[in-house]
């Protein structure tokens, strides 16, 4: 899993050909802490999908994509937003969320 910030967002997400799943989170966020291990497990089990995390306190990207609540998961396909989910989801829901956009 890659930590993405303003400096590497273009390269890691927008220029990437394929699916990128972004977990927008904050260290102080309780729901983010419960979703973190789920997202990490998903990342470890799905090598065909690029999984990245963006700390909303350390990046301006969340403003560009109108992330108002965290955790928020945004799915990019070939550099374009194709879906989003706000809140904590279970792993099976995350798998379904990604698979419906493949």
Check 32, 51, 67, 98 and give the catalytic one.
32
1 in Cβ contact with 47 (< 8 Å): no
- Catalytic, 82? Answer no
d(CA 39, CA 32): 10
Backbone angles phi, psi at 5, to 5 degrees: -140, -175
- Catalytic, 32? Answer yes
Check 29, 65, 84, 93 and give the catalytic one.
29
**Which positions are annotated as active-site residues?**
29, 32
């Amino acid at each position: 899993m890659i930590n993405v910030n303003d400096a590497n967002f273009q390269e890691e997400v927008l220029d990437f050909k394929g699916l990128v799943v972004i977990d927008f989170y904050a260290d102080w966020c309780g729901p983010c802490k419960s979703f973190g291990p789920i997202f990490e497990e998903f990342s470890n089990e799905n090598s065909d999908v690029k999984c990245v995390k963006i700390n909303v306190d350390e990046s301006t990207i969340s403003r560009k994509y109108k992330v108002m609540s965290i955790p928020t998961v945004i799915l990019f396909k070939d550099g374009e937003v194709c879906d989003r989910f706000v809140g904590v989801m279970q792993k099976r829901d995350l798998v379904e969320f990604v698979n419906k956009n493949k």
